[in-house]
Chains A and B, each alone.
Chain A
């Protein structure tokens, strides 16, 4: 099964590299959003309740990474839906490779792409003056949370694609991603959000992931937020992968 997972992940990565319209939006769009936010909303730092940070870019970097990872999940879902629509998925299913490998191959590719996304934004941040307070260990923390979260979002994309079987439907969840992201603490601290957004954001899993990545970048390697972020991302990934495998089995039953 390991060979099948690696081969399918490799195929997904090769496809992503050969079709720039899949990969480019994952970094370009959040980069532009980051530039606009940092350029136009920097004064937010002066508001009461905003934590003391060296720069607004330091604070926003985690939001940009999270946004990019969520888009990566949408992209993974679209790729699977296109495979289903084009019939390639039937070829995979008609082969003797275990069903789990089909899901894990795509999810592994999402993990690799997530690592690239995290590194890209950290480098971008450093180029434009951000500093990573946690140092090398902090980078590893951000990378760990980012990769696990990207894996989970990729699995959610796969899950939706297996249920919807249509690329346009998966594309349709794109606005929803932004709604969920904006009612989290990704862009602004909970203290600056009004009710009921602050209540929702307090329990929004994306808040834990954003705060977990932000802590080593903007503040320190304090363990609690990092662990909360990592655990939340792991829970999302494990749940989504499990549900995706069940959805694939269900798809075969219902087809």
Chain B
């Protein structure tokens, strides 16, 4: 709806200052769109496609070639520009898709799950380009199911579950909402886990969770709690094999805000089989 491909059935939305239902043409002139599937014509070359896109965006004929070449170079596809897109890898397609979305220097860039299916190198390259665009002043509206990606890229983030925004804010503020950091401990084999659990419970309103030799403690005062806990364990003769301080992640935010609801499960939490979690969306501005 925001990119004017679907007509809203209700409500209002404005993109770059224009109403998506009443002024779709103005919206389209100001947005760039890279769709989920990187829908590119496999029979055309990278250069041909980007020049077609330039023409569709009414770029002046004398600038079409140079602007296309400039963007192809920016996304690192100069060597492959004359090849048919059908021979491109997934990462190359994504980068070409991004270049095409940028051909008219849009005010708002929509990226729909831009790194899905990409290898780590391609993902990092695309992240760098998104940051660069943001730094240059482009508003990037990015949807993703990778919460790490949202954490890395988003200035402002919204989580959508069952078609509704269930949380919105900066990544830091959302993480602060879900609570305290956790200290994860792994005790030496053969330790009296029950005794250790009772010991750390004495440190106040902590709610230790045990699993095997693992102990997870929600820290009321953050890192300041670590030393007293370790001292108490040491004094009681417990040997700590590993420890890790874990800050709340967007995963925690997601799980809390969506109620850990599994798509397709009933309202009473029947979880006979694991299904993909609802889509999270992140928006960077």
Contact = CB atoms under 8 A, between A and B. Distances in A.
Given A92-B56, A94-B5, A253-B7, A14 B25 contact: no
Interface string A95-116: 1110000000000000000000
B28 A96 contact: yes
A13 B66 CA distance: 24
Given A15-B41, A90-B39, A94-B28, A255 B7 contact: yes
Interface centre among A3, A8, A91, A93 (most CB of B within 10 A): A91
Interface string B233-259: 000000000000000000000000000
Contacts of A97: 56-58
Nearest to B104: A96
B4 A94 contact: yes
Contacts of A88: 39-41
A18 B25 CA distance: 33
Interface residues of B, number: 27
Nearest to B39: A87
Given A93-B5, A94-B28, A3 B39 contact: no
Nearest to B103: A95
A86 interface: yes
Nearest to B58: A96
A90 B40 CA distance: 10
Interface centre among B29, B40, B48, B55 (most CB of A within 10 A): B55
B7 A91 contact: no
Nearest to A88: B39
Given A88-B40, A253-B7, A3 B61 contact: yes
B39 A4 contact: no
Interface string A1-36: 001100110010011001100000000000000000
A127 interface: no
A92 B39 CA distance: 10
A43 interface: no
Contacts of B39: 86-88, 90-91
B43 interface: yes
Contacts of B188: none
B44 interface: yes
Given A3-B55, A94-B33, A11 B41 contact: yes
A90 B4 CA distance: 10
A252 B35 contact: no
Interface in B40-63: 40-41, 43-44, 48, 52-53, 55-58, 61
A11 B7 contact: no
A7 B52 contact: yes
Interface in B1-59: 3-7, 25, 28-29, 31, 33, 35, 37, 39-41, 43-44, 48, 52-53, 55-58
A8 B55 CA distance: 9
Interface centre among A83, A93, A95 (most CB of B within 10 A): A95
Contacts of A19: 43
A8 B44 CA distance: 12
Nearest to A19: B43
B40 A11 contact: no
Given A87-B35, A88-B40, A95 B3 contact: no
Nearest to A87: B39
Nearest to B36: A87
A102 to B, nearest CB: 9
Interface in A73-95: 83, 86-88, 90-95
A14 B44 contact: yes
Contacts of A91: 33, 35, 39, 53, 100
Nearest to A10: B52
Nearest to A5: B55
A11 B44 CA distance: 8
A95 B59 CA distance: 12
Given A4-B55, A8-B56, A255-B5, 10 more contacts: A7-B52, A8-B52, A11-B41, A19-B43, A90-B39, A91-B53, A94-B4, A94-B31, A96-B57, A252-B5
19 contacts: A7-B52, A7-B55, A8-B56, A11-B41, A14-B48, A15-B41, A15-B43, A88-B41, A90-B35, A91-B100, A92-B56, A93-B5, A94-B4, A94-B33, A95-B56, A96-B56, A96-B58, A97-B58, A253-B7
